[in-house]
């Protein structure tokens, strides 16, 4: 893997699905990957949240998607850059608190911005909370398996966000995270 990183064939590590195997994201089996990611400045994308029906993974454990489980790895690899998919899922509040402590954490808002899964009012409240907490520079647009237009409109309709804040969510924050 390190050779592939050196050859510029790998520029991030993700979608890490430890949760689908019932394994903590801080399990020591992940440490060699986190060490490489930290060494080369690669972001790591980790799935959090629930799994839809029929996901086909009998080992899936929702509790293994709790962002608090990542703290051991973040303390060991202080330079690690991680984006958690789905904003930490049902653990969004815990994740938001962690983001205040760990500067290398980013939130991917996919699924949250899908009104077919999360009601618009709940999505707006979560986004307002992140912005009010000063975390707008670490929010990443994502669409997951949703209709792209629907997920874009969900963000565009947030009237409390400025054009600049929306630009950060749609583009600038990812550009910085992925060193583009």
Has residue 76 got a pLDDT over 90?
yes
Has residue 101 got a pLDDT over 90?
yes
Percent of the chain scoring above 90 in pLDDT: 82
C-alpha 79/C-alpha 168 separation (Å) is: 22
pLDDT, residue 32, reads 97
Has residue 88 got a pLDDT over 90?
no
Question: Where do the domains of the chain lie?
Answer: 1-80, 109-180
pLDDT, residue 134, reads 96
Predicted structure pTM score: 0.93
pLDDT bracket for residue 22 (50, 70, 90): very high
Mean pLDDT in residue range 33-42: 98
Has residue 53 got a pLDDT over 90?
no
Question: What's phi and psi for 46, nearest 5 deg?
Answer: -120, 130
Mean pLDDT in residue range 32-38: 98
* Residues 79-94 as b or e (16 or more Cβ within 10 Å = b): ebbbbbbbbbbebbee
C-alpha 117/C-alpha 121 separation (Å) is: 12
């Amino acid at each position: 893997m390190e050779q592939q990183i050196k050859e510029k064939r790998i520029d991030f590590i993700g979608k890490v699905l430890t949760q689908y195997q019932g394994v903590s994201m801080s399990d020591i089996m992940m440490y060699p990957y986190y060490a490489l990611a930290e060494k080369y400045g690669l972001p790591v994308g980790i799935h959090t949240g629930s799994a839809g029906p029929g996901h086909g993974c009998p080992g899936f454990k929702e509790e293994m998607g709790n962002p608090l489980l990542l703290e051991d790895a973040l303390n060991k690899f202080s330079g690690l850059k991680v984006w958690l998919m789905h904003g930490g899922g049902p653990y969004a509040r815990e994740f938001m608190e962690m983001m205040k402590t760990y500067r290398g954490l980013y939130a991917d808002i996919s699924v949250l911005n899908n009104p077919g899964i999360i009601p618009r009012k709940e999505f707006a409240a979560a986004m307002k909370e992140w912005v009010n907490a000063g975390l707008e520079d670490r929010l990443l647009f994502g669409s997951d398996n949703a209709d792209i237009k629907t997920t874009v409109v969900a963000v565009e309709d947030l009237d409390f966000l400025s054009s600049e804040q929306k630009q950060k969510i749609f583009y600038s924050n990812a550009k910085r995270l992925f060193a583009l």
